Amino acid sequence: MAGFGVRSTGSPAHNGLISWLERRVSHLPGMSVRSERIPIQRWQPGPGLLLSGGAVPVASAIPYSAPGLRSGDLIHLPLGTPITAANARGKVVLRDFPPVDRGYLAEPLLDRDMIDAGTAGAAGVIVAFPFPHDQVRGYWDPHTGTHYRVPGVFIGSDAASKLQVGTRTTIGVLAARLPAVTRTLIATLPGQSAERIVLDTNTDGVGWVQENGTVGLLALAEHFARLPLRCRPRTLEFDFATAHLHRSSEGSEFRARALDTDYDAGSVAFAFVIEHLGTREFLPSNGSLRPTGAAELAGWFAGSPALAQAASVALAGRAVDRTFVLPGSDLPVPDRAPPQCSFGGIGTHFHSHLVPTMAMISGPWTLWAPSFGAEAVDHERMRRQVLAAGDAITALAPVARDQIAGPYLDLRRARAAGAPTCSHDLPPARAPR
């Protein structure tokens, strides 16, 4: 998977991975395969450029930032200071990367800054990491799929030391914006019942972590396809979804909307999402990210007692440590259906649509930093996680649908009666002016 390189949504590398997956699953006995196509305005990354009293090394272009070259005086705006026309028009804005516990938590702030810089008429945005260039080379976030109106670049701490506030600075992004069609691959393996267990992950990604769930899903598909029909009480659907790196067209959200309708028709038992498997923990130390020797903390989210019990038993059976079985990652809202919306990643789409859902996910610093390569993944741990996922699916396959659902049935009734529910709005395709 990692050999395809940066799999930006709808890119040749991404299409190549999807085609490779399609060939693999199409050859499995009994498997049928189809695609759901999604039109997008893709962003094909190229190098970033920064000139400020000489060339400054750029770690990567900020995803979906505007192509082109622009110049302006360099200003540093501390975190917490809004980017406005009064302080940023015509300027190149230097921001420090937010002081977050894990890099993925910075996405809302980065997204807000890029949008604000566009409406303010800034020349561009530079985000400086507290880590060296080699560790953040190729960094990819935000992944909203919102096309920004200014160029933006990431730089490492060593490059940031070369910048001088007040200096005339040129910032550039060499990238392409092109219409494209991307696709979600849906592979279906018949069981004794047409009622489906739906397994989902995304295919677009960078490096060895985001998104290695494709490898886990492929392994599960190969395992269950080898079993005789009597060992598959329910049909298994494997969704290799597109556009998680282009969330304005999130393929998993489109699948969740369809399953929401299908659930009422009785054709879905539950959904199970796997993401970011086998990750090692890296934490800041002395100005760089260093391995701690431990596994990255992980969540196995489960929306009902039956799902949570299956998760706990599977984790213990395969000795998967540092993993918490949780009902959600956000604060509960008592009168909402469901009280907790977030499952930490793309599992959120299914759970918030009130499809009974489990989701395995971690969020290490290496998630959007592909420079760590294979060092980011403990492959034995990844294998045990996938085995645990298979154990949970096997244990739940013969369990009655209503028992699996637990509180979801009441939540669906409450939603139908008018109870507030989670937002399913996707990010805008273009930043406002």
Average pLDDT in the 283-312 region?
98
Q: Over pLDDT 70: what percentage of the chain? A: 100
Q: Rounded to the nearest 5 degrees, what angle is found at the Cα of 255, between the Cα atoms of 233 and 262?
A: 55
What are 164-211's pLDDT values in tens digits?
999 999 999 999 999 999 999 999 999 999 999 999 999 999 999 999
Report whether pLDDT(351) > 90: yes
Confidence at residue 268, expressed as pLDDT on a 0 to 100 scale: 98
257: its two tokens: 């909307």
Q: Which helix (H) or strand (E) holds 312?
A: helix 305-317
Q: Are 330 and 314 spatial neighbours (Cβ–Cβ below 8 Å)?
A: no
405: its two tokens: 């659902």
Average pLDDT in the 239-246 region?
98
Q: Over pLDDT 90: what percentage of the chain? A: 99
Q: Are 407 and 307 spatial neighbours (Cβ–Cβ below 8 Å)?
A: no
Q: How many CB atoms lie within 10 A of CB 46?
A: 13
What are 216-241's pLDDT values in tens digits?
999 999 999 999 999 999 999 999 99
CA–CA separation, 426 vs 421, rounded Å? 15
What is the average pLDDT score of the chain?
97
Confidence at residue 98, expressed as pLDDT on a 0 to 100 scale: 98
Q: Please give the torsion angle defined by the CA atoms of residues 432, 427, 203 and 231, in that order, rounded to the nearest 10 degrees.
A: -170
Q: Please give the torsion angle defined by the CA atoms of residues 416, 419, 422 and 428, in that order, rounded to the nearest 10 degrees.
A: 80
Average pLDDT in the 48-75 region?
96
Average pLDDT in the 348-375 region?
98
Confidence at residue 218, expressed as pLDDT on a 0 to 100 scale: 98
CA–CA separation, 301 vs 308, rounded Å? 8
Average pLDDT in the 82-108 region?
98
CA–CA separation, 162 vs 287, rounded Å? 17
CA–CA separation, 338 vs 330, rounded Å? 11
Report whether pLDDT(345) > 90: yes
Burial of 79-102, coded b for 16+ CB within 10 Å and e otherwise, reads eeeebeeeebeebbbbbbbbeeeb
Residues in Cβ contact with 385 at an 8 Å cutoff, skipping those fewer than 6 apart? 216, 274, 277, 278, 318, 320, 360
- 43, β-bridge pairs: 177
Report whether pLDDT(8) > 90: yes
- 122, β-bridge pairs: none
Q: Are 36 and 140 spatial neighbours (Cβ–Cβ below 8 Å)?
A: no
Left (φ > 0), alpha (ψ -120 to 50) or beta: where does 5 sit? left
CA–CA separation, 382 vs 218, rounded Å? 13
What are 105-150's pLDDT values in tens digits?
999 999 999 999 999 999 999 999 999 999 999 999 999 999 999 9
For 106, how many CA atoms within 13 A lie in the half-sphere containing its CB? 25
CA–CA separation, 74 vs 155, rounded Å? 14
Among 335, 179, 172, 245, which residue's Cα sits nearest to residue 6? Answer: 245
Residue 46's pLDDT band (cuts 50, 70, 90)? confident
What are 371-416's pLDDT values in tens digits?
999 999 999 999 999 999 999 999 999 999 999 999 999 999 999 9
Radius of gyration of the chain (CA): 22
Can you give the length of the chain in residues? Answer: 433
